[in-house]
Structure 1
Amino acid sequence: MINTGKCPKCEKILQNAHIEPIELKQGFNQATWNGAAISCPWCKTILSASIDPLAIKADIVNEIKKLLGR
């Protein structure tokens, strides 16, 4: 498979991307979530951001354990 996707800013072909943890906020003094930002390894432009699925999974498992008394 040959990657042809380019960064919208520096226009270099992306063979990989960096994932960095970020905090996502709903608004001022509102709820926060653990997030992940995907950025260009060359120019560091953020390509995407979303709620971190691994953090959500860990939160769900911990809540279930708490409800089961473990």
Structure 2
Amino acid sequence: MLDDFSERAQQVRSAGYGKGAWRKGDKMIAGKCPKCEKPVLRGNLHGCDVGEPMGRSWKAVQINCPSCGIVLGIAIDPVALKTDIVREVLEGLGAAPKRR
């Protein structure tokens, strides 16, 4: 089993994946926008809320195409999620969160 893993790891390294694979001058592969079909190297972020119908909601980020503005994806905001978890734990322990 270990030999199989070692062989596969060597194949991955020789293919250029993993640590050190990206060097100065390498070109990043860009996805294409499904609407305008332009390459998307960088998206625009917008805040939004996601949630269940008639249920709890969470803060999220929406990624838009910089060329045409179509929504490329939505994901829960990890920073806001962490903040909510810390707040709920502190409230459960009876401690007040510090204000900045």
TM-score normalized by structure 2? 0.60
Gaps of 5+ in 1: none
Q: Does 1:34 align with 2:59?
A: yes
Q: Which has the higher contact order (CA 8 A, sep 6+)?
A: 1
Q: Does 1:4 align with 2:33?
A: no
Structure with the higher fraction of residues in helix conformation: 2
* 2:84 alignment counterpart: 59
1:62, CA displacement in angstroms? 1.4
CA distance in 2, matches of 1:47, 1:65: 35
Greater Cα radius of gyration, structure 1 or 2: 2
Give the superposed CA RMSD: 1.5
Q: Evaluate the alpha carbon distance shift between residue 35 and residue 43 of structure 1 in structure 2; reply closer, same or farther with a 3 A threshold.
A: same
Percentage of pairs with the same residue: 35
TM-score normalized by structure 1? 0.82
Structure with the higher fraction of residues in strand conformation: 1
Q: 4+ residue stretches of structure 1 with deviation over 3 A?
A: none
Match of 1:41, SS? coil
CA distance in 2, matches of 1:7, 1:21: 20
Gaps of 5+ in 2: 1-26
